[in-house]
Amino acid sequence: MSVINTQPPRPAVEPSPPPPILRGDPITGNRYTSRDFMALEWERMWTRVWHIGGWAADLPQPGDYITHAIGQESILMVRQEDGSVAAFYNVCPHRGNRLVHGDLGHAKVFTCSYHSWQFDRAGTTCRVQDPDDFPQGNPCGKVRLSAIKCEVWGGFVWFNMDPNAPPLRQFLDPVAPQFDKYSMDGQVRVLYLTAEVNCNWKIIHDNFNESYHLPTLHPELSTFIEDAYQDTMFDLYASGHNRMRMKGGLPSLRAHSVTDVAQPLDDILRTWDLDPTSFQGHARDARQALQQQKRRLGTGRGFAHYDLLDDDQLTDYHHYTLFPNVSLTMSADGFQLLRPQPHPTDPEKCIFDHWFMVPVVPGQTEAMTPVGPRPLAEAEHEIFKHGEQTLGFVADQDLSIAVGQQLGLRSRGFKDAYLTGQESRVRRFHEMINDYIEGRR
Ligand code: FES
Ligand SMILES: [Fe+2]
Protein backbone atom coordinates (compact mmCIF):
# COMPACT_ATOMS: atom_id res chain seq x y z
CA MET A 1 0.00 0.00 0.00
CA SER A 2 1.34 3.40 -0.83
CA VAL A 3 1.49 6.32 1.55
CA ILE A 4 0.31 9.68 0.31
CA ASN A 5 3.07 12.19 0.80
CA THR A 6 1.57 15.56 1.60
CA GLN A 7 4.77 17.56 1.20
CA PRO A 8 4.51 20.42 -1.28
CA PRO A 9 6.63 20.21 -4.45
CA ARG A 10 10.25 21.19 -3.92
CA PRO A 11 11.55 22.23 -7.32
CA ALA A 12 14.16 24.58 -5.81
CA VAL A 13 17.28 24.69 -7.95
CA GLU A 14 19.88 27.28 -7.15
CA PRO A 15 21.33 29.26 -10.04
CA SER A 16 24.82 28.60 -11.37
CA PRO A 17 27.65 30.78 -10.03
CA PRO A 18 29.25 33.28 -12.41
CA PRO A 19 31.79 31.32 -14.48
CA PRO A 20 35.46 31.81 -13.58
CA ILE A 21 37.65 33.70 -16.00
CA LEU A 22 39.73 31.21 -17.95
CA ARG A 23 43.22 32.18 -19.05
CA GLY A 24 43.33 29.80 -21.99
CA ASP A 25 46.49 27.99 -20.83
CA PRO A 26 47.50 25.54 -23.55
CA ILE A 27 46.67 21.87 -22.89
CA THR A 28 49.72 20.26 -24.42
CA GLY A 29 50.57 16.59 -24.88
CA ASN A 30 53.58 16.59 -22.56
CA ARG A 31 51.24 17.02 -19.58
CA TYR A 32 50.19 13.42 -20.19
CA THR A 33 53.58 11.87 -20.92
CA SER A 34 56.37 13.75 -19.17
CA ARG A 35 58.07 12.39 -16.05
CA ASP A 36 59.09 15.93 -15.11
CA PHE A 37 55.48 17.09 -15.20
CA MET A 38 54.45 14.02 -13.20
CA ALA A 39 57.07 14.92 -10.55
CA LEU A 40 55.79 18.51 -10.37
CA GLU A 41 52.24 17.28 -9.89
CA TRP A 42 53.43 15.08 -7.04
CA GLU A 43 55.51 17.68 -5.21
CA ARG A 44 53.21 20.64 -5.66
CA MET A 45 49.71 19.18 -5.93
CA TRP A 46 49.16 15.57 -4.79
CA THR A 47 51.01 16.21 -1.52
CA ARG A 48 48.80 19.23 -0.78
CA VAL A 49 45.22 18.18 -1.63
CA TRP A 50 42.65 16.09 0.26
CA HIS A 51 42.43 12.45 -0.88
CA ILE A 52 39.78 9.82 -0.31
CA GLY A 53 41.64 7.10 1.59
CA GLY A 54 38.79 4.61 1.85
CA TRP A 55 35.23 3.81 2.80
CA ALA A 56 34.49 4.53 6.47
CA ALA A 57 32.24 1.47 6.79
CA ASP A 58 35.43 -0.62 6.52
CA LEU A 59 36.42 0.74 9.95
CA PRO A 60 33.47 0.05 12.30
CA GLN A 61 35.50 -0.75 15.45
CA PRO A 62 38.52 0.75 17.24
CA GLY A 63 41.61 -0.97 15.86
CA ASP A 64 40.12 -1.53 12.41
CA TYR A 65 42.47 -0.19 9.76
CA ILE A 66 42.76 0.35 6.02
CA THR A 67 45.69 1.32 3.81
CA HIS A 68 45.66 3.35 0.64
CA ALA A 69 48.37 3.80 -1.98
CA ILE A 70 48.83 7.15 -3.67
CA GLY A 71 51.86 7.64 -5.92
CA GLN A 72 54.74 5.93 -4.13
CA GLU A 73 53.22 6.50 -0.69
CA SER A 74 51.10 4.18 1.39
CA ILE A 75 48.82 5.69 4.03
CA LEU A 76 47.57 3.77 7.09
CA MET A 77 44.22 4.85 8.58
CA VAL A 78 43.14 3.49 11.96
CA ARG A 79 39.85 3.81 13.87
CA GLN A 80 40.61 5.23 17.32
CA GLU A 81 38.98 4.47 20.68
CA ASP A 82 37.09 7.81 20.56
CA GLY A 83 35.57 7.00 17.15
CA SER A 84 37.82 9.30 15.15
CA VAL A 85 40.17 8.00 12.45
CA ALA A 86 43.91 8.74 12.52
CA ALA A 87 46.17 8.55 9.46
CA PHE A 88 49.90 7.86 9.28
CA TYR A 89 52.52 7.29 6.64
CA ASN A 90 52.74 3.51 6.49
CA VAL A 91 56.41 3.37 7.45
CA CYS A 92 58.27 2.16 10.52
CA PRO A 93 60.25 4.99 12.18
CA HIS A 94 63.02 2.60 13.25
CA ARG A 95 64.69 1.94 9.91
CA GLY A 96 61.97 2.67 7.39
CA ASN A 97 60.39 -0.70 6.69
CA ARG A 98 56.83 -0.71 5.30
CA LEU A 99 54.77 -1.31 8.44
CA VAL A 100 51.43 -2.76 7.29
CA HIS A 101 50.93 -4.92 4.21
CA GLY A 102 47.44 -5.55 2.90
CA ASP A 103 44.28 -3.50 2.33
CA LEU A 104 42.49 -3.74 5.65
CA GLY A 105 42.34 -5.56 8.97
CA HIS A 106 42.11 -5.21 12.73
CA ALA A 107 44.99 -4.75 15.16
CA LYS A 108 45.56 -4.17 18.87
CA VAL A 109 49.11 -3.15 18.00
CA PHE A 110 51.01 -2.87 14.72
CA THR A 111 54.21 -4.94 14.69
CA CYS A 112 57.00 -4.21 12.24
CA SER A 113 58.23 -7.30 10.43
CA TYR A 114 61.93 -6.31 10.64
CA HIS A 115 62.87 -5.86 14.36
CA SER A 116 59.39 -6.21 15.89
CA TRP A 117 58.91 -2.68 17.13
CA GLN A 118 55.27 -2.28 18.11
CA PHE A 119 52.97 0.72 17.79
CA ASP A 120 49.63 1.29 19.44
CA ARG A 121 46.53 2.38 17.51
CA ALA A 122 47.42 6.03 18.08
CA GLY A 123 50.79 5.45 16.38
CA THR A 124 53.02 5.59 19.47
CA THR A 125 55.85 3.09 19.93
CA CYS A 126 54.79 0.80 22.78
CA ARG A 127 57.25 -2.09 22.72
CA VAL A 128 60.76 -2.61 21.34
CA GLN A 129 63.46 -5.21 21.62
CA ASP A 130 66.31 -4.19 24.01
CA PRO A 131 64.77 -0.93 25.22
CA ASP A 132 67.86 -0.17 27.36
CA ASP A 133 70.19 -0.16 24.36
CA PHE A 134 69.26 3.21 22.86
CA PRO A 135 71.80 6.00 23.50
CA GLN A 136 69.02 8.53 22.73
CA GLY A 137 66.67 6.87 25.23
CA ASN A 138 63.94 4.25 25.12
CA PRO A 139 61.74 5.00 22.07
CA CYS A 140 58.59 3.69 23.78
CA GLY A 141 56.11 6.50 24.40
CA LYS A 142 58.44 8.85 22.53
CA VAL A 143 58.83 7.80 18.89
CA ARG A 144 55.67 7.93 16.80
CA LEU A 145 54.45 7.02 13.37
CA SER A 146 54.43 10.09 11.17
CA ALA A 147 50.84 11.39 11.40
CA ILE A 148 48.95 13.33 8.73
CA LYS A 149 45.60 15.11 8.65
CA CYS A 150 42.57 12.83 8.50
CA GLU A 151 38.81 13.46 8.46
CA VAL A 152 35.67 11.42 7.90
CA TRP A 153 32.95 12.91 5.71
CA GLY A 154 30.38 11.68 3.21
CA GLY A 155 31.00 8.04 4.13
CA PHE A 156 34.68 8.39 3.15
CA VAL A 157 37.92 8.61 5.11
CA TRP A 158 40.01 11.49 3.76
CA PHE A 159 43.65 12.37 4.34
CA ASN A 160 45.97 15.21 3.44
CA MET A 161 49.78 15.06 3.51
CA ASP A 162 50.12 18.85 3.90
CA PRO A 163 50.41 19.90 7.55
CA ASN A 164 49.12 23.36 6.55
CA ALA A 165 46.10 22.10 4.62
CA PRO A 166 42.72 23.75 5.30
CA PRO A 167 40.00 21.62 6.95
CA LEU A 168 38.30 19.24 4.52
CA ARG A 169 34.98 21.07 4.33
CA GLN A 170 36.82 24.31 3.62
CA PHE A 171 38.72 22.54 0.81
CA LEU A 172 35.38 21.27 -0.52
CA ASP A 173 33.75 24.73 -0.44
CA PRO A 174 31.05 25.33 -1.59
CA VAL A 175 29.99 21.86 -2.63
CA ALA A 176 30.12 19.98 0.70
CA PRO A 177 26.67 21.14 1.92
CA GLN A 178 25.16 20.21 -1.46
CA PHE A 179 25.94 16.56 -0.72
CA ASP A 180 24.30 16.53 2.69
CA LYS A 181 20.81 15.79 1.31
CA TYR A 182 22.07 12.55 -0.23
CA SER A 183 22.84 10.94 3.17
CA MET A 184 26.03 9.29 1.93
CA ASP A 185 26.88 8.10 5.43
CA GLY A 186 25.25 4.75 5.99
CA GLN A 187 25.07 3.78 2.32
CA VAL A 188 26.56 0.46 1.24
CA ARG A 189 29.45 0.14 -1.22
CA VAL A 190 28.09 -2.61 -3.47
CA LEU A 191 30.75 -2.25 -6.18
CA TYR A 192 34.48 -1.87 -5.46
CA LEU A 193 36.63 -2.12 -8.59
CA THR A 194 40.22 -1.02 -9.23
CA ALA A 195 41.93 -1.32 -12.62
CA GLU A 196 45.32 -0.33 -13.97
CA VAL A 197 44.81 1.57 -17.24
CA ASN A 198 47.39 2.45 -19.92
CA CYS A 199 46.81 6.20 -19.92
CA ASN A 200 47.69 9.22 -17.82
CA TRP A 201 45.23 9.90 -14.98
CA LYS A 202 44.18 13.24 -16.54
CA ILE A 203 42.84 11.60 -19.70
CA ILE A 204 40.17 9.91 -17.58
CA HIS A 205 39.40 12.95 -15.46
CA ASP A 206 39.22 15.18 -18.56
CA ASN A 207 36.52 12.82 -19.79
CA PHE A 208 34.51 13.21 -16.58
CA ASN A 209 34.89 16.99 -16.90
CA GLU A 210 32.79 17.16 -20.06
CA SER A 211 29.57 15.71 -21.46
CA TYR A 212 30.38 16.64 -25.06
CA HIS A 213 31.36 13.00 -25.67
CA LEU A 214 27.98 11.54 -24.72
CA PRO A 215 26.36 11.44 -28.19
CA THR A 216 29.47 9.66 -29.56
CA LEU A 217 30.46 7.30 -26.76
CA HIS A 218 27.11 6.77 -24.99
CA PRO A 219 24.42 7.31 -27.66
CA GLU A 220 21.92 5.03 -25.92
CA LEU A 221 21.68 7.38 -22.90
CA SER A 222 19.80 10.02 -24.90
CA THR A 223 16.46 8.20 -24.54
CA PHE A 224 16.32 8.98 -20.80
CA ILE A 225 19.08 11.50 -19.95
CA GLU A 226 19.44 15.06 -21.23
CA ASP A 227 22.79 15.29 -22.99
CA ALA A 228 22.24 18.60 -24.80
CA TYR A 229 24.34 21.36 -23.27
CA GLN A 230 21.59 23.94 -23.86
CA ASP A 231 19.41 22.21 -21.22
CA THR A 232 22.18 21.23 -18.77
CA MET A 233 23.61 23.34 -15.93
CA PHE A 234 27.38 23.60 -15.56
CA ASP A 235 28.58 25.10 -12.29
CA LEU A 236 32.27 26.01 -12.05
CA TYR A 237 33.32 27.10 -8.57
CA ALA A 238 36.29 29.28 -7.64
CA SER A 239 37.67 26.43 -5.52
CA GLY A 240 38.16 24.31 -8.65
CA HIS A 241 35.32 21.88 -7.93
CA ASN A 242 32.54 21.58 -10.50
CA ARG A 243 28.98 20.37 -10.73
CA MET A 244 26.97 19.37 -13.79
CA ARG A 245 23.22 19.12 -13.28
CA MET A 246 21.94 16.76 -15.92
CA LYS A 247 18.22 16.06 -16.27
CA GLY A 248 16.99 12.48 -16.15
CA GLY A 249 13.66 10.79 -16.85
CA LEU A 250 13.12 12.37 -20.27
CA PRO A 251 14.45 12.04 -23.82
CA SER A 252 17.31 14.40 -24.66
CA LEU A 253 16.82 17.34 -26.99
CA ARG A 254 19.37 15.42 -29.10
CA ALA A 255 17.41 12.16 -29.00
CA HIS A 256 16.13 10.48 -32.17
CA SER A 257 12.68 11.50 -30.97
CA VAL A 258 12.03 14.04 -28.24
CA THR A 259 8.32 13.28 -28.23
CA ASP A 260 8.18 9.48 -27.95
CA VAL A 261 8.92 7.23 -24.99
CA ALA A 262 11.67 4.73 -25.82
CA GLN A 263 13.52 2.15 -23.78
CA PRO A 264 14.48 2.25 -20.93
CA LEU A 265 12.27 5.23 -20.05
CA ASP A 266 9.20 3.06 -20.55
CA ASP A 267 10.47 0.57 -17.94
CA ILE A 268 11.34 3.36 -15.53
CA LEU A 269 7.82 4.74 -15.85
CA ARG A 270 6.23 1.32 -15.32
CA THR A 271 8.39 0.80 -12.20
CA TRP A 272 6.65 3.83 -10.76
CA ASP A 273 3.13 2.73 -11.85
CA LEU A 274 3.00 5.23 -14.72
CA ASP A 275 1.70 4.23 -18.16
CA PRO A 276 4.34 4.93 -20.87
CA THR A 277 1.67 5.20 -23.58
CA SER A 278 0.14 8.18 -21.82
CA PHE A 279 3.36 10.13 -22.51
CA GLN A 280 3.59 9.37 -26.23
CA GLY A 281 3.84 12.63 -28.12
CA HIS A 282 5.03 14.58 -25.08
CA ALA A 283 7.70 12.34 -23.55
CA ARG A 284 9.60 15.19 -21.93
CA ASP A 285 6.72 15.54 -19.44
CA ALA A 286 7.76 12.17 -18.01
CA ARG A 287 10.45 13.76 -15.82
CA GLN A 288 8.05 15.84 -13.78
CA ALA A 289 5.52 13.01 -13.57
CA LEU A 290 8.25 10.71 -12.25
CA GLN A 291 9.26 13.27 -9.64
CA GLN A 292 5.66 13.59 -8.44
CA GLN A 293 5.17 9.82 -8.40
CA LYS A 294 8.42 9.18 -6.53
CA ARG A 295 7.41 11.83 -4.02
CA ARG A 296 3.98 10.16 -3.64
CA LEU A 297 5.06 6.53 -3.49
CA GLY A 298 8.71 6.62 -2.43
CA THR A 299 8.35 6.61 1.34
CA GLY A 300 5.78 3.81 1.26
CA ARG A 301 8.17 1.71 -0.85
CA GLY A 302 10.97 2.16 1.68
CA PHE A 303 12.79 5.02 -0.03
CA ALA A 304 12.71 7.17 3.10
CA HIS A 305 15.76 9.09 1.91
CA TYR A 306 13.64 10.64 -0.90
CA ASP A 307 12.11 12.91 1.74
CA LEU A 308 15.40 14.80 2.02
CA LEU A 309 15.85 15.37 -1.71
CA ASP A 310 14.58 18.23 -3.86
CA ASP A 311 12.27 17.29 -6.73
CA ASP A 312 14.99 17.58 -9.38
CA GLN A 313 17.23 15.25 -7.38
CA LEU A 314 14.58 12.52 -7.63
CA THR A 315 15.21 12.16 -11.37
CA ASP A 316 18.39 14.03 -12.24
CA TYR A 317 22.10 13.26 -12.09
CA HIS A 318 24.21 15.75 -10.21
CA HIS A 319 27.70 14.97 -11.40
CA TYR A 320 30.59 16.47 -9.44
CA THR A 321 34.23 16.65 -10.37
CA LEU A 322 36.13 17.45 -7.20
CA PHE A 323 39.62 18.80 -7.72
CA PRO A 324 41.84 17.16 -8.56
CA ASN A 325 40.64 13.65 -9.39
CA VAL A 326 37.35 12.57 -7.79
CA SER A 327 34.17 12.26 -9.81
CA LEU A 328 30.94 11.65 -7.88
CA THR A 329 27.66 11.12 -9.73
CA MET A 330 24.76 11.56 -7.35
CA SER A 331 21.31 10.11 -8.02
CA ALA A 332 18.29 9.39 -5.83
CA ASP A 333 19.05 5.68 -5.83
CA GLY A 334 22.80 5.61 -5.33
CA PHE A 335 26.04 7.39 -6.10
CA GLN A 336 29.10 6.53 -8.08
CA LEU A 337 32.76 7.29 -7.46
CA LEU A 338 35.06 7.32 -10.47
CA ARG A 339 38.66 8.18 -9.67
CA PRO A 340 41.87 7.98 -11.70
CA GLN A 341 45.02 8.15 -9.57
CA PRO A 342 48.57 8.64 -10.79
CA HIS A 343 50.59 5.48 -11.34
CA PRO A 344 53.52 5.21 -8.87
CA THR A 345 56.18 5.52 -11.58
CA ASP A 346 54.75 5.73 -15.10
CA PRO A 347 53.03 8.91 -16.38
CA GLU A 348 51.42 6.87 -19.17
CA LYS A 349 49.51 4.63 -16.75
CA CYS A 350 47.02 5.22 -13.96
CA ILE A 351 45.06 3.42 -11.27
CA PHE A 352 41.31 3.76 -11.77
CA ASP A 353 38.70 3.19 -9.07
CA HIS A 354 35.01 2.60 -9.70
CA TRP A 355 32.80 2.33 -6.63
CA PHE A 356 29.01 2.36 -6.39
CA MET A 357 27.12 3.10 -3.19
CA VAL A 358 23.41 2.62 -2.52
CA PRO A 359 21.04 3.47 0.34
CA VAL A 360 19.70 0.60 2.40
CA VAL A 361 16.05 0.01 1.50
CA PRO A 362 14.13 -2.34 3.81
CA GLY A 363 13.34 -5.67 2.15
CA GLN A 364 15.86 -5.26 -0.68
CA THR A 365 18.62 -7.86 -0.99
CA GLU A 366 20.00 -6.76 -4.35
CA ALA A 367 21.12 -3.44 -5.76
CA MET A 368 21.32 -2.43 -9.40
CA THR A 369 24.89 -1.29 -10.15
CA PRO A 370 26.76 -0.18 -13.28
CA VAL A 371 27.79 -3.83 -13.80
CA GLY A 372 24.30 -5.24 -13.18
CA PRO A 373 22.63 -6.51 -10.01
CA ARG A 374 24.87 -7.15 -7.00
CA PRO A 375 24.07 -8.27 -3.43
CA LEU A 376 23.09 -5.37 -1.16
CA ALA A 377 26.18 -5.84 1.01
CA GLU A 378 29.68 -4.39 1.28
CA ALA A 379 31.56 -5.60 -1.81
CA GLU A 380 34.91 -7.36 -2.02
CA HIS A 381 37.73 -5.41 -3.65
CA GLU A 382 38.28 -6.57 -7.25
CA ILE A 383 41.68 -5.54 -8.67
CA PHE A 384 42.61 -6.16 -12.30
CA LYS A 385 44.09 -4.68 -15.45
CA HIS A 386 41.84 -2.70 -17.81
CA GLY A 387 40.36 -5.10 -20.35
CA GLU A 388 40.45 -8.18 -18.15
CA GLN A 389 36.88 -7.62 -16.92
CA THR A 390 34.20 -4.99 -17.27
CA LEU A 391 34.31 -1.74 -15.34
CA GLY A 392 30.64 -1.19 -16.15
CA PHE A 393 29.06 -0.56 -19.54
CA VAL A 394 29.38 3.24 -19.50
CA ALA A 395 32.87 3.30 -17.93
CA ASP A 396 34.01 0.75 -20.53
CA GLN A 397 32.74 3.11 -23.23
CA ASP A 398 34.63 6.01 -21.63
CA LEU A 399 37.85 4.04 -21.34
CA SER A 400 37.56 2.74 -24.91
CA ILE A 401 39.17 6.00 -26.09
CA ALA A 402 41.76 6.32 -23.31
CA VAL A 403 44.60 4.31 -24.80
CA GLY A 404 44.13 5.81 -28.26
CA GLN A 405 44.11 9.31 -26.81
CA GLN A 406 47.32 8.55 -24.89
CA LEU A 407 48.93 7.56 -28.22
CA GLY A 408 47.72 10.74 -29.89
CA LEU A 409 48.84 13.03 -27.10
CA ARG A 410 52.37 11.67 -27.53
CA SER A 411 52.41 12.89 -31.11
CA ARG A 412 54.53 15.86 -32.19
CA GLY A 413 51.48 16.78 -34.26
CA PHE A 414 49.32 17.61 -31.25
CA LYS A 415 49.89 21.21 -30.12
CA ASP A 416 46.91 22.21 -27.94
CA ALA A 417 43.28 21.32 -27.32
CA TYR A 418 40.56 23.27 -29.20
CA LEU A 419 37.64 23.26 -26.79
CA THR A 420 33.90 23.93 -26.91
CA GLY A 421 32.28 26.17 -24.32
CA GLN A 422 30.72 23.11 -22.70
CA GLU A 423 34.24 21.72 -22.14
CA SER A 424 35.19 24.68 -19.93
CA ARG A 425 35.56 22.35 -16.96
CA VAL A 426 38.43 20.64 -18.82
CA ARG A 427 40.17 23.99 -19.31
CA ARG A 428 39.49 24.97 -15.71
CA PHE A 429 40.86 21.63 -14.41
CA HIS A 430 44.18 22.11 -16.23
CA GLU A 431 44.45 25.74 -15.12
CA MET A 432 43.93 24.63 -11.51
CA ILE A 433 46.79 22.12 -11.90
CA ASN A 434 48.93 24.93 -13.31
CA ASP A 435 47.96 27.14 -10.36
CA TYR A 436 49.38 24.48 -8.03
CA ILE A 437 52.55 23.70 -9.91
CA GLU A 438 53.30 27.34 -10.77
CA GLY A 439 52.84 28.47 -7.16
CA ARG A 440 49.55 30.39 -7.34
CA ARG A 441 47.93 28.01 -4.81
S1 FES B 1 62.48 -1.23 10.65
FE2 FES B 1 60.75 -1.56 11.83
S3 FES B 1 61.45 -2.46 13.63
FE4 FES B 1 63.22 -2.10 12.52
FE1 LIG C 1 31.29 9.19 -20.42
**Rounded-to-integer distance, Cα 104 and Cα 68, Å:** 9
164 and 212 together in one domain: no
Is 4 a residue whose pLDDT tops 70?
Answer: no
Order the strands of the 110-111 sheet from edge to edge. 110-111, 118-119, 125-127
Mean pLDDT of 282-301: 97
Backbone dihedral angles phi then psi of residue 162, each to the nearest 5 degrees = -90, 115
**Residues 150 and 203 grouped into a single domain:** no
- Dist. CA 358–CA 310, nearest whole Å: 18
115 CB under 6 A from ligand 1?
yes
Q: Which of 149, 186, 132 is nearest to 47 (CA)?
A: 149
Q: Do residues 235 and 242 touch, judged by C-beta distance below 8 A?
A: yes
Q: List the beta bridge partners of residue 189.
A: 357
pLDDT digits (tens, 9 = 90+) for 181-215: 999 998 999 999 999 999 999 999 999 999 999 99
The domain that holds 392 is classified in CATH as: 3.90.380.10
Q: What spacing in Å lies between the alpha carbon of 116 and ligand 2's midpoint?
A: 48
pLDDT of res. 432: 98
Tell me how far apart the alpha carbons of residues 435 and 441 are, in angstroms, rounded to a whole number.
Answer: 6
pLDDT at residue number 290:
98
The 3-state DSSP class for residue 15 equals coil
pLDDT band at 138 (very low <50, low <70, confident <90, very high): very high
User: Which residues are in the CB-under-5-Å shell of ion ligand 2?
Assistant: 398
Mean pLDDT of the chain: 96
Residue 43 lies in a domain: no
pLDDT of residue 7: 58
Query: Are 219 and 141 contained in the same domain?
Result: no
Asked if pLDDT for residue 407 goes beyond 50, the answer is: yes
Residue nearest to ligand 1 atom 1, measured at CA: 95
Question: Is residue 12 one of the residues assigned to a domain?
Answer: no
* Ligand 1 atom at shortest distance from the alpha carbon of 117: 3
Given 169, 201, 216, the domain boundary residue is 169
Percentage of residues of the chain with pLDDT beyond 70: 98
357 shares its domain with 405: yes
Residue 339: closest CA among 134, 106, 50: 50
Tally the C-alpha atoms within 13 A of residue 174's C-alpha that lie toward its C-beta.
Answer: 7
Same domain, residue pair 78 and 132: yes
Whether ligand 1 lies within 6 angstroms of the CB of 95 is answered as yes
Half-sphere exposure of residue 392: CA atoms within 13 angstroms, side-chain side? 25
> What gap in Å lies between CA 204 and CA 92, rounded to an integer?
34
Domain span at residue 232?
29-36+181-437
The predicted pLDDT at position 11 comes to 63
pLDDT at 1 over 70: no
Q: Looking at the structure, do residues 83 and 202 belong to the same domain, yes or no?
A: no
Position 76 in a domain: yes
pLDDT tens digit sequence for 360-380: 999 999 999 999 999 999 999
Is the Cβ atom of 94 under 6 angstroms away from ligand 1? yes
Handedness of CA 249, 15, 421, 51 (dihedral sign): negative
Ligand in nearest proximity to the CA of 218: 2
Kindly state whether residues 165 and 198 are assigned to the same domain: no
Residue 97 CB–ligand 1 contact under 6 Å: yes
Task: Check residue 2 and give its pLDDT.
Answer: 40
Mean pLDDT of 81-100: 98
208 and 111 housed in the same domain: no
DSSP 359: -
The pLDDT of residue 415 is: 96
CATH at 140:
2.102.10.10
Best residue for ligand 1 mutational test, from 91, 99, 114 (most atoms within 8 Å of Cβ): 114
**Residue 159 forms beta bridges with which residues?**
51, 150
User: Is residue 5's pLDDT more than 60?
Assistant: no
In a domain, 9, yes or no: no
| Ligand 1 centroid to residue 128 C-alpha, Å | 9
Mean pLDDT of 99-117: 97
| DSSP 8-state secondary structure symbol assigned to residue 407 | H
User: Do residues 223 and 196 lie in contact, with contact meaning Cβ atoms separated by under 8 Å?
Assistant: no
The per-residue pLDDT for 3 is: 41
* Residue 113, ligand 1, Cβ within 6 A: no
Q: Are residues 155 and 224 in the same domain?
A: no
Per-residue pLDDT reduced to its tens digit, 23-79: 999 999 999 999 999 999 999 999 999 999 999 999 999 999 999 999 999 999 999
198 and 151 within one domain: no
The 3-class secondary structure across 290-321, one letter per residue, is HHHHHHHHCHHHCCHHHHHCCHHHHHCEEEEE
Q: Which ligand has an atom closest to residue 209 CA?
A: 2
Clarify whether residues 134 and 271 are in a common domain.
no
The crossing angle, in degrees rounded to 10, of helices 201-208 and 402-409 is: 120
**Model pLDDT, residue 8:** 64
Question: Residue 13's pLDDT is what?
Answer: 74
325 within some domain: yes
Domain boundary among 146, 169, 192: 169
Same domain assignment for residues 283 and 188? yes
Assess contact for 395 and 178: CB atoms under 8 A: no
Give a yes or no: residue 93 inside a domain: yes
Task: Provide DSSP, 169-217.
Answer: HHHTTTTHHHHGGG--TT-EEEEEEEEEESS-HHHHHHHHT--TTHHHH
Domain end (from 134, 169, 204): 169
Q: What is the pLDDT of residue 14?
A: 83
- Asked, for residue 429, whether it belongs to a domain, the answer is yes
Atom number, ligand 1, closest to the C-alpha of residue 128: 3
**Cβ(92) – ligand 1 distance below 6 Å:** yes
- Number of structural domains (the chain) is 2
Give the mean model confidence (pLDDT) for residues 320-332: 98
* 72 found inside a domain: yes
